[in-house]
Structure 1
Amino acid sequence: MRYLLLALLYLMSGVALAAPTQPGKAYLTLIIDDLGQNPARDSRTLALPGPVTLAIMPDTPHATDFARQAHRAGKTVILHMPMDPATGPYAWHPGTPLPELERRLNAALDKVPYAVGINNHMGSRMTAEPVAMAWLMGELQRRGLFFVDSRTSAATVAAKSAQDISLASVSRDVFLDDVRTTDAIAGQLQQGIALARKQGTAVLIGHPYPQTLEVLERELPKLKAQGIEWIEIAQMIAERGNRAMPAHGKQGLYSPARAAQ
């Protein structure tokens, strides 16, 4: 709850908090995408220890029920917003008029109650659209929601659009399960841990695949012993001060105007 209050204060401020990571600290945040499709996998994800952020798809049969269940369990819920090349009734596509994008966003948020932010599901084409992304970030600012750029494409302008208006935001560093074997997923988790040690923070995204959940159930309880502090996504946003990882943009800042400040 204290991190949610921090996030609300941060969002209301309208400015990026210059909160550098404490020297010697290694912070990690974990998001699980594509939830709402399978009650057994959703429940298994909910049972993971620690502050897992749950990204729920609006066009799934259990989206609303699971969002309520997750909220009751004290978990952070975000909307996993479908974006082109994703399809379906909520998906955003290049060339769609802004009023229709707004209608789909409203409908998606209605399906996922208690969402305090959103991230993109797929979206390699849509997140490269500067006009739509600028509108989205302004709308999220108005609603008091944060944005997570899943970085499904190097051409994304989503994080830059968020930084341009000082919207509370963060970007993904590591995908855990592009390769769905336990060995590969464990290796990606170790890559995320190494990155957290190197740059102070790492944002990881995974999916509720049986192999991913098996690795997380086994490895997450070991993080503290490895010197990794697993934190809520709101705290990660504050720690990073809206910056992406240093390799993205100029020291994590995409906007030249802000990078020069």
Structure 2
Amino acid sequence: MNDLSAPLGIAIPKASRRRWPIAMIFVAAVSLVVMVAVIWAVMVDDPLGGQPVASARIDRDAARTGGNAVSVVGVRSGSGEDLDAADDIAAAAPPGTAEDDGDDMIAAVDQPGSGAALPTAADARAMPLRALDELVEEGRFGQLPKIGADGTRPLDAYARPVPPIVGASPKIAIIIGGIGLSQSGTQEALRQLPAEVTLAFAPYGNSLDLWQGRARQDGHELLLQLPLEPFDYPDNDPGPHTLLTTLAPEQNSERLDWLMSRLGAYVGVMNYMGARFTADPAAVEPMLRTLKDRGLLYFDDGSSSRSRTLEIGRRLSTPVAGADLVVDALPSDADIDARLAQLEQLARTRGLAVGYASALPVSVRRIAEWTRGLENRGITLVPVTATLAAR
């Protein structure tokens, strides 16, 4: 029936057209996007938010001749899954690149929130993931660091570059010890701490190769902790292969070789305990001579006022550095924050301050939070090797 065939006086109902309000459609679309984002955040374990990680190979010959020294050899998603196994770290470099020939390098990439600009191809410097073949030799218990034929020290080869723009600004170095002992604690330290923080590995941890690779990939400098004799030894025992004042130099040398073979791409060593050992020049001097001959630095955590390591190290021309204070001597939020404020004051007064802390959850959390605003307060965070030139 239409208007022509319908009886007079009977109106034909018009077909209604349903109209969707534009505002309702917009709200529905936004809700869908938010729901997808929430589901992704809950279901995907990716603390970096999928941030890509790029591996770059450094051509030393090209660098010397002024050519293009940096080439990308692999890009990784940054998700937790591809970093949970050592095989995944090795898989970061495709066949025929740096990983295959042992010359596995990355350009230093700053952690999110560190406040530092990413390095460009012009100023990036090689940061080996593992020990370089030319800087190791076979020892009694495994590979030992050595100075290369061209005079390159492990201290130089594995150092994190400090941008020249840092200049004369106040600087602070933070060293975190006990890395590698706790799997969860180590993972949290790597997740939270910026790349400028130096990580000290205990020699007794499991999966040290894996954690070393992850730490180097994030741009950290590494130290190896040496168990040294405390005053109350053996009631307080730092662990197997502890260097003792009662042992002959040859015996301590053998123990030192075992300890140094536990890690690869590290710039030096530091004490774990050791108040008695570091107070004895006859025990300290052979150790520091060995470290100098192998191109490593020695870091003193500042826990013992009797330590002679810095004094003897300077006399022997061994690269040495020391902590001005222990940040978490009292491991509470308030005490750690107070010590960090004290570090800032020292840095402004002297130009440089160095702090040491253990990888306790409270220490890592407070230090990570503190570093986020450090640059805005006019202070630069630097690795431990930067303290050698500043003193």
* Common fold by TM > 0.5: yes
Alignment partner of 1:39 is 2:183 = yes
Please state if 1:70 is matched with 2:211.
Answer: no
Q: Quote the offset at 1:97 in angstroms.
A: 1.3
What one-letter code is carried by the residue in structure 1 that aligns with 2:371?
Answer: L
Are the counterparts in 1 of residues 198 and 221 from structure 2 also a CA contact under 8 Å?
Answer: yes
Task: Give the secondary-structure state (helix, strand or coil) at the position aligned to 2:385.
Answer: helix
Which of the pair has more CA radius of gyration?
2
Map of 1:160 onto structure 2? 311
Q: Within 1, Cα distance between the matches of 2:180 and 2:223?
A: 12
2:336–2:366 Cα contact (<8 Å) kept: yes
TM-score (norm. length: structure 1): 0.81
Contact 1:83 1:126 in 2 (8 A): yes
CA gap of 1:181–1:205, structure 2 versus 1, over 3 A, is same
The offset of 1:153, in angstroms, is 1.4
Letter in 2 for 1:219: W
Cross-structure match for 2:77: none
Amino acid at match of 2:215: A
Give 1 or 2: higher helix fraction: 1
8 Å CA contact retained: 2:155, 2:266: no
Which structure has more relative contact order (CA 8 Å, sep 6+)? It is 1
Partner of 2:35: none
**Helix, strand or coil: the match of 1:164?**
helix
Unaligned stretches of 5+ residues in structure 1: 13-21, 241-261
- SS where residue 242 of structure 2 aligns? coil
TM-score (normalizing by structure 2): 0.55
Deviates more, 1:58-67 or 1:171-180: 58-67
The offset of 1:65, in angstroms, is 3.0
Deviations 1:23-82 (A, max 9, x none): 963110010011111111111112212311110111223434322322233211110111
Partner in structure 1 of residue 227 of structure 2 = 82
* SS of aligned partner of 1:125: helix
Q: Which moved more, 1:222-231 or 1:148-157?
A: 148-157
| Aligned counterparts of 1:126 and 1:146: Cα–Cα separation in 2 | 18
Contact 1:182 1:215 in 2 (8 A): yes
Kept after mapping to 2: 8 A contact 1:35/1:63: no
Name the Cα RMSD after superposition: 2.3
1:131 is aligned to 2:276 = no
Q: Distance in 2 between matches of 1:138 and 1:4?
A: 26
Contact in 2 for aligned 1:3/1:234 (Cα 8 Å): no
Match for residue 267 of structure 2 among 116, 137, 151? 116
- 25-34 or 63-72: which moved more? 63-72
* Alignment partner of 1:236 is 2:387: yes
Counterpart of 1:148 in structure 2 is: 299
C-alpha contact 1:28 1:203 (8 A) present in aligned 2: yes
Which residue of structure 2 aligns with residue 19 of structure 1?
none
Shift of 1:83: 0.7
Distance 1:92 1:215 in 2: 33
In the TM superposition, what are the counterparts of 1:1-261 in structure 2 within 5 Å? 2=125, 25-47=169-191, 48-85=193-230, 86-240=237-391
Deviation of the 1:11 alpha carbon: 6.5
Q: In 2, Cα distance between the equivalents of 1:141 and 1:35?
A: 24
